[in-house]
Structure 1
């Protein structure tokens, strides 16, 4: 009886150590199709998909923001920020780094502007 319990515990530990987390490209904020701050992240067990999301504002039509990373939900959402309507389309995939992300170099002023935008943006995307 005790041997079975020990073997069961070893099997469970082995299962969890062999299970690898999904790795996704992460982008906090992207503007006009270019990621401003990119990296690779390991997803949690509950996050089974990589995603790339693109938000388009109804008022401007030409400005779009994007983000990418790990997620457990893949859906389209709509809402408003300061009275401006937007639509967020989220595209998902389930293999390592399948949500390609590219980065660009920014000037200091551009980086500060992007950081401010990212802080506002991330509150609405999550």
Structure 2
């Protein structure tokens, strides 16, 4: 009887942990490359992997990407708005397979990441 309980407990653990997705995370990405990324296990309140893009309407070159876990109610939506005088569009695309939200990140030193961000902003202003 004791062995049966252990087998049942092991099977339950496999099914419970098997339902949580592992997703790539990225707080800031430029030009399709994640600057500071890792991976995480999604929670019940945010059960989906997502890839998001913030694009400014003033230039196609100026966009930021994010990755992580997201609530189902926010999946596969596009939102528009304005920040000061610049219009923007945010698109979030969800998926439900482990690490389906993009490739792993590259790790850049902070100075390289800041340089890339400044270069992207500078190139959109035409300076």
- Normalising by structure 1, report the TM-score: 0.69
Residue in 2 aligned with 1:19? 16
Cα separation, partners in 2 of 1:101 and 1:81, compared to 1, 3 Å: farther
CA RMSD of aligned residues (A): 2.5
Secondary structure class of the residue paired with 1:61: coil
Say yes or no: does 1:69 pair with 2:71. no
Q: Find 1:92's aligned residue among 88, 91, 94.
A: 94
Say yes or no: does 1:104 pair with 2:106. yes
- Normalising by structure 2, report the TM-score: 0.69
**Where has structure 1 moved over 3 Å in runs of 4 or more?**
14-18, 111-115
Once the two structures are TM-superposed, the CA of residue 68 in structure 1 deviates from its matched residue by 0.5
Cα separation, partners in 2 of 1:99 and 1:58, compared to 1, 3 Å: same
Unmatched tracts of structure 2, length 5 or more: 1-7, 118-127
Unmatched tracts of structure 1, length 5 or more: 1-10, 116-126
Deviates more, 1:92-101 or 1:27-36: 92-101
Say yes or no: does 1:49 pair with 2:32. no
Once the two structures are TM-superposed, the CA of residue 17 in structure 1 deviates from its matched residue by 7.3
Structure 2 CA distance for aligned equivalents of residues 96 and 102 of structure 1: 12
Structure 2 CA distance for aligned equivalents of residues 101 and 31 of structure 1: 13
Residue in 2 aligned with 1:58? 57
Residue in 2 aligned with 1:118? none
How many residue pairs are counted as aligned between the two chains?
103
